[in-house]
A and B are shown apart, each in its own frame.
Chain A
Amino acid sequence: MPSYVIPAKCTGCGDCVNVCPSHIMKFTKSGIFGRKAYNAEPESCWECYNCVKHCPQGAVQIRGYMDFTPLGGAVEVYRDEKTNRVYWTIRYRNGTVKYFVFPIRTTPWGSIKPPQEYPEPLKEFLRTPYLSCEHEQLGGNKLGVELPRMKVPEVVKVEVRG
């Protein structure tokens, strides 16, 4: 089921054009109502729902193809990065509506600790099979190879909890 942009709701912000992995969301020529996004090639649509999830206006729906899906059904998605939930709305042709809510993330957006903030590894560590942070993430020596001895820094920070 490809995506369909409701022109009256679309403000032409371009979020769906930016995010579409298949590069098929395009702009119309600017008219008196400004530019609008539309799905230029519904037959090449992956149906990945990214344009639906990233539309701030809720203007993109997923609708069935005319030739094999009963017309009138639609799927809408609202993805909230503040409460970290995704809300699915499934509209059936006969008027039945179903709602689903799922969590999408357990930490706030932008909270990942980047690799350059980890202590810089020794060059000898490259010869071991351990990847980044792997020794700690696995909880010690699980690959059968001991890490080379590190020099113990003189000042050790002790984190006090409680």
Chain B
Amino acid sequence: MTKVRYVDTDILIIGGGMAGSGAAWEARYWCRNCRIVLAEKANINRSGAVAMGLSAINTYMGLKCKENTVEDYVKYVRGDLMGIVREDLVYDYARHVDSTVHLFDEWGLPIWPEPKTGCYVREGKWQIMIHGESYKPIVAEAARKALGDENIFNRVMVTHLLKSPGNPNRVVGAIGFNVNDGTFYVFKAKATILAAGGGSQIYSLGPG
């Protein structure tokens, strides 16, 4: 017999990679009394595309040191992708990326600062250099502290989103199963954040 577990929650985050961990942090910051649940197909400490670490952060504006402007970045992306780009989305992540990197720095990610100015050492116009072996465990620690370990469901592979019967455009939860013991999970959520990347085939298209 397959066991079925029902999880009622306010906010459901699907995917525990960098985006899902960041969403967990952000959701807890704005909503202190919500129940927030994160479902991840592997272990959140080492999962997603940053599981093995990274040696650079590829987008950092440097607004603090006035190195680049957000408009410059949008212009660069538009040229790089030959104009096929949602400029509003690019602008939006570009203007928020700096504060996220500063949070990583505060949490302990080794980023190289220049001794004189305190700005970060660059290896390209947009990249900064890091010692990113533990990039994901550091971000995962923030997410685990934000949610509490009991609200993080490791090894749960979400396969389908649940839609409201009255309104097919509204997602009210998700279903999945534990890849170790086959327990079936039904998540019911008031809001769902899909941060599952492109590999899991929940998005109809790839990431982006």
Is residue B26 within 8 Å, beta carbon to beta carbon, of the partner chain?
A: yes
Q: How far is the CB of A17 from chain B (nearest CB, A)?
A: 9
Q: Which of A118, A121, A138 is in CB contact (< 8 Å) with B98?
A: A138
B43:A21 contact, CB within 8 angstroms: yes
Q: Which residue of A lies closest to B63 (CB)?
A: A142
Specify which chain A residues have a CB less than 8 angstroms from the CB of B138 in the assembled complex: 105, 112
Measured between alpha carbons, how far is A139 from B66 in the docked complex, in Å?
12
The B-contacting residues of A in range 1-47, CB under 8 angstroms, are 18-23, 46-47
Is A116 within 8 A of B110, CB to CB? no
Contact for B108 among A111, A115, A120, CB less than 8 A: A111
Nearest chain-B residue to A134 (Cβ)?
B99
- Contacting A86 at CB < 8 Å: which of B30, B43, B133? B133
Query: Known interface pairs A50-B51, A86-B133, A131-B99. Does A21 touch B42 (Cβ–Cβ under 8 Å)?
Result: yes
Report whether B46 and A105 are in contact in the complex, using a CB–CB cutoff of 8 Å. Answer: no
Given contacts A48-B52, A106-B110, contact A137 B102 (CB under 8 A): yes
Contacts of B26 in A (CB 8 A): 115, 131-132
Name the one of B28, B45, B103, B107 contacting A107, with C-beta atoms under 8 angstroms: B107
Residues of A within 8 A of B98 (CB): 137-138, 142
Report Cα–Cα, A141/B90, bound state, in Å: 20
Q: Which chain A residue lies CB-closest to B179?
A: A23
- Smallest CB separation, B184 vs chain A (Å): 18
Specify which chain B residues have a CB less than 8 angstroms from the CB of A19 in the assembled complex: 43, 45-46
What B residues does A134 contact at CB under 8 A? 96, 99
- Is A70 an interface residue, CB under 8 A from the partner? no
Complex: how many Å from CA A121 to CA B138?
Answer: 24
A63 contacts chain B at the CB level, 8 A cutoff = no
Bin the interface of chain B by size.
35 or more
Q: How many A-B pairs with Cβ below 8 Å?
A: 111
Say how far A113's CB is from chain B's closest CB, in angstroms.
8
Are B64 and A116 within 8 A (Cβ)? no
For residue B32, CB closer than 8 A to chain A, the reply is yes
Within 91-142 of A, Cβ neighbours of B (below 8 Å) are at: 102-112, 114-116, 118, 120-121, 126, 129, 131-134, 137-139, 142
A143 CB-CB contact with B under 8 Å = yes
Interface of A is mostly: loop
User: Does B109 lie within 8 Å of A114, measured CB to CB?
Assistant: no
Contact A115 B25 (CB under 8 A): yes
B176 within 8 A of partner (CB): no
Q: How far is the CB of B32 from chain A (nearest CB, A)?
A: 6
- Name B70-108 residues within 8 Å CB distance of A: 95-96, 98-100, 102-103, 106-108
Residues in A with CB closer than 8 Å to B131 are 102-104
Q: Report if A129-B133 is in contact (Cβ < 8 Å); known contacts: A137-B103, A138-B102, A139-B64.
A: no
A114-B146, A137-B98 known; A18-B109 Cβ under 8 A:
no
Could you list 16 examples of A-B contacts with CB < 8 Å? A19-B43, A22-B42, A50-B52, A79-B133, A103-B131, A104-B134, A105-B138, A110-B141, A111-B108, A112-B145, A116-B146, A132-B26, A132-B30, A133-B99, A137-B99, A138-B63
Closest 4 CB pairs of A and B: A107-B108, A48-B52, A132-B29, A137-B99
